[in-house]
């Protein structure tokens, strides 16, 4: 007697040959619709201040103070953005200082943090866990707690009102984060790679530089982005350690626009929008390395 084997995929067929969709699929479609709706609402709520700020930056001053508010019925203008980049604008000087301070502090933290993380990952050190915890504990305190001791120390070292002082402070605060982030990435790279390279005649440092370092580029990019964001957005040290308008960074320069009897909200909004662009552009340029870096070490199935 021949045995009839039912082809795979016909288990969901009805008596009349009609395909019966399993209820799980319908629930999944319903769940996906609800998720999309909730995400859309969340996106609108989160982006509403940004959209309102952009709209304010594009309005003329009379339209900003109009009652009722003009949401769509206004003529866009770029005058406020031109004022941001004018030669006598304090905000433009703040942008230049932010680029210098954030760039150099991120570079220093990365150059010092990657070798330190490699050493903690590869070598057996005395009280290594205690050292790592102490390094991380320096980030437990908010900046406002240590700003007074730093101020007194910088006053004795003549580092107040200098970009060098901010670079050193930001690099010091970014270094613990860099070490911990990079140690996690280096732990995911097998040490046997370096051992095999040393068997071929490479020194310990050459094995790290030529074998391990290329594999750490995504992690370095991800760590550098987060360090750059901290240095770019930092406000407390900038406002306490810098009083010279020619040396202050963008956050404190933008905050200085708010005060007095009148506030140019158009200039404030345009400055804030311009301030957000560089970090977004940098993150976009390294997005592939950023995604690969933050997912390095994830469980794969």
Based on the fold, state whether residues 73 and 96 are members of the same structural domain: no
pTM above 0.75, yes or no: yes
Residues near 274 by beta carbon (within 8 Å), at least 6 away in sequence:
81, 84, 85, 91, 95
- Asked whether residue 5 carries a pLDDT value surpassing 80, the answer given is no
Residues near 121 by beta carbon (within 8 Å), at least 6 away in sequence:
183, 186, 187
Domain for residue 252, yes or no?
yes
Domain for residue 269, yes or no?
yes
The answer for 44, left when phi > 0, alpha when psi is -120 to 50, beta otherwise, is alpha
Are the C-beta atoms of residues 221 and 289 closer than 8 Å to each other?
Answer: yes
Based on the fold, state whether residues 70 and 140 are members of the same structural domain: no
Higher-confidence residue: 117 or 290? 117
Based on the fold, state whether residues 163 and 262 are members of the same structural domain: yes
Distance separating alpha carbons of residues 268 and 266, to the nearest angstrom: 5
Based on the fold, state whether residues 131 and 265 are members of the same structural domain: yes
Domain extent for 276: 88-294
Q: Per residue in 103-162, pLDDT tens?
A: 999 999 999 999 999 999 988 888 888 888 888 888 888 888 889 999 999 999 999 999
Based on the fold, state whether residues 55 and 98 are members of the same structural domain: no
- Asked whether residue 23 carries a pLDDT value surpassing 80, the answer given is no
Q: What is the mean pLDDT of residues 180-201?
A: 90
What pLDDT does residue 150 have?
92
CATH code, 262? 1.10.3720.10
Based on the fold, state whether residues 180 and 257 are members of the same structural domain: yes
Closest CA to 273 of 46, 112, 50: 50
Distance separating alpha carbons of residues 90 and 85, to the nearest angstrom: 9
Can you tell me whether residue 75 is helix, strand or coil?
coil
What pLDDT does residue 11 have?
47
Based on the fold, state whether residues 223 and 99 are members of the same structural domain: yes
Q: Per residue in 210-230, pLDDT tens?
A: 999 988 888 898 888 889 988
Are the C-beta atoms of residues 85 and 277 closer than 8 Å to each other?
Answer: no
Domain for residue 12, yes or no?
no
Domain for residue 83, yes or no?
no
* Mean of the per-residue pLDDT values of the chain: 83
pLDDT-based confidence at residue 67 (cuts at 50, 70, 90) = confident
Distance separating alpha carbons of residues 126 and 109, to the nearest angstrom: 24
Domain for residue 54, yes or no?
yes
Higher-confidence residue: 3 or 255? 255
Domain for residue 196, yes or no?
yes
Based on the fold, state whether residues 147 and 258 are members of the same structural domain: yes
Q: Write the DSSP assignment of 228-247 as a string of letters.
A: HHHHHH--HHHHHH---TTT
Residues near 65 by beta carbon (within 8 Å), at least 6 away in sequence:
none
Based on the fold, state whether residues 108 and 71 are members of the same structural domain: no
Based on the fold, state whether residues 132 and 49 are members of the same structural domain: no
Q: At 147, which helix (H) or strand (E)?
A: helix 143-157
Domain for residue 6, yes or no?
no
What total of structural domains would you count in the chain? 2
What pLDDT does residue 300 have?
44
Percent of the chain with pLDDT over 70: 85
Domain for residue 3, yes or no?
no
Based on the fold, state whether residues 254 and 152 are members of the same structural domain: yes
Based on the fold, state whether residues 119 and 239 are members of the same structural domain: yes
């Amino acid at each position: 007697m021949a045995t009839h084997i039912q082809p795979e995929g016909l288990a969901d067929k009805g008596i009349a040959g009609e395909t019966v969709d399993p209820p799980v699929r319908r629930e999944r479609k319903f769940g996906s619709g609800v998720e999309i709706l909730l995400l859309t609402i969340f996106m609108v709520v989160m982006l509403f201040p940004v959209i309102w700020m952009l709209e304010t930056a594009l309005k003329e001053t009379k339209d900003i103070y109009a009652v009722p508010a003009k949401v769509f019925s206004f003529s866009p203008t770029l005058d406020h953005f031109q004022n941001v980049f004018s030669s006598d604008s304090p905000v433009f000087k703040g942008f230049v200082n932010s680029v210098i301070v954030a760039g150099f502090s991120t570079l220093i933290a990365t150059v010092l943090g990657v070798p330190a993380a490699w050493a903690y990952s590869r070598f057996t050190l005395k009280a290594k866990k205690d050292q790592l915890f102490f390094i991380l504990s320096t980030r437990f305190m908010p900046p406002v707690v240590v700003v007074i001791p730093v101020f007194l120390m910088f006053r004795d070292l003549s580092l107040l009102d200098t970009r060098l002082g901010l670079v050193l402070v930001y690099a010091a605060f970014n270094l613990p984060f860099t070490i911990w982030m990079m140690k996690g990435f280096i732990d995911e790279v097998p040490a046997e790679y370096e051992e095999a390279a040393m068997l071929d005649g490479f020194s310990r440092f050459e094995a790290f530089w030529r074998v391990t370092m290329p594999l750490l580029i995504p992690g370095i990019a991800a760590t550098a982005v987060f360090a750059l964001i901290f240095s770019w957005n930092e406000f407390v040290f900038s406002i306490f350690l810098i009083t010279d308008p020619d040396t202050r960074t963008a956050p404190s320069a933008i905050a200085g626009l708010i005060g007095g009897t009148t506030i140019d909200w158009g200039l404030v909004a345009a400055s804030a929008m311009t301030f957000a662009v560089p970090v977004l552009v940098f993150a976009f340029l390294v997005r592939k390395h950023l995604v690969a870096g933050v997912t390095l070490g994830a469980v794969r199935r």
